[in-house]
Amino acid sequence: MADARARGSGIDSYMERTSNHLSAVTKMTGLLLAPPLKRTTIARVELVPLEEHRALAVLVTDSGWVTARPLTLEPPLPADEVRKLGRELTRRFGGRTVTQIIEMETTPADPLDELHTRARSITEQIVAMLRGRTLYVSGAINMLDHPEFWDIETTRGLLRTFEQKERLADLMATLAEDEGMRVTIGEENPFAEMRECTLITSTYLYRDQVLGILGVVGPRRLPYPEVISVVTETARQVTDALTRVRQDLYLPS
């Protein structure tokens, strides 16, 4: 991690590797909440046909951050039409901030706007992508190595929580409102499924502003000094790596 660099199109993979690093070093579950998108400028939109009724939406920001999500095509569209819509959406969205795009697409549509009519379902799904935040979760299976989670019902509930990324992302976003390191133990966790867990988190910064948060989920009994050291040092390294990115990144709104 010390030599990792967050550059251009590698920023998103860097975040994922960081979550993997937290999991691998602590033997617990690594979490990293990516920055909010609101002030980010979209450079281009690509729609990659997968099947007749599905496509992959790839959003690329001017700082090189890449976000990809599968979309449902309603009604189904041929591959050439899907690619064409991607090019048209790039012309519409390119150079605009996420906030501007959301405002554009949530105001009453011009009945003569052919693109909005043809791609309404797609743009609605893209707007949902832009409103959200990416949460990287790594090493959930590591929890099975700890005796506290050998009870199948306890483990099932915890793994279900890890799968409900939107809910977990909201928790991490709330914790990120306070800069620095935080330890949340047992009953302090707001989710019943995490009452047997410890959540250790630390915010990471960009230009002296909190940009996101990372951490680990483990059992109540764990080597606190060692794990806290890993989490805080990783947050420091992410902050340092982001300072090397010359172009503007996501800034919290």
pTM of the model: 0.73
Could you tell me the CATH superfamily of domain 8-36+133-243?
Answer: GAF domain (3.30.450.40)
Distance CA 230, CA 88 (A): 45
Which tokens sit at 24?
Answer: 């691998």
Domain boundaries, the chain: 8-36+133-243, 42-131
Measured between alpha carbons, how far is 185 from 8 in angstroms, rounded to an integer? Answer: 37
Contact 239, 207 (CB under 8 A): no
> Between β-strands 209-219 and 181-185, what pairing exists: parallel, antiparallel or unpaired?
unpaired
CATH top-level class of 42-131: alpha beta
Please give the Cα distance from 194 to 233 (Å, whole number): 24
Report pLDDT for 169: 92
Express each pLDDT in 94-153 by its tens digit.
999 988 998 888 877 666 667 767 788 898 899 888 887 889 999 999 999 999 888 888
How much of the chain is in helix, strand and coil states, percent to nearest 5? 45, 25, 30
Q: How confident is the model over 190-221, as pLDDT tens digits?
A: 998 999 999 999 999 987 888 899 999 999 99
Prior bond to 190 cis, omega within 30?
A: no
Helix (H) / strand (E) element for 104: namely helix 98-106
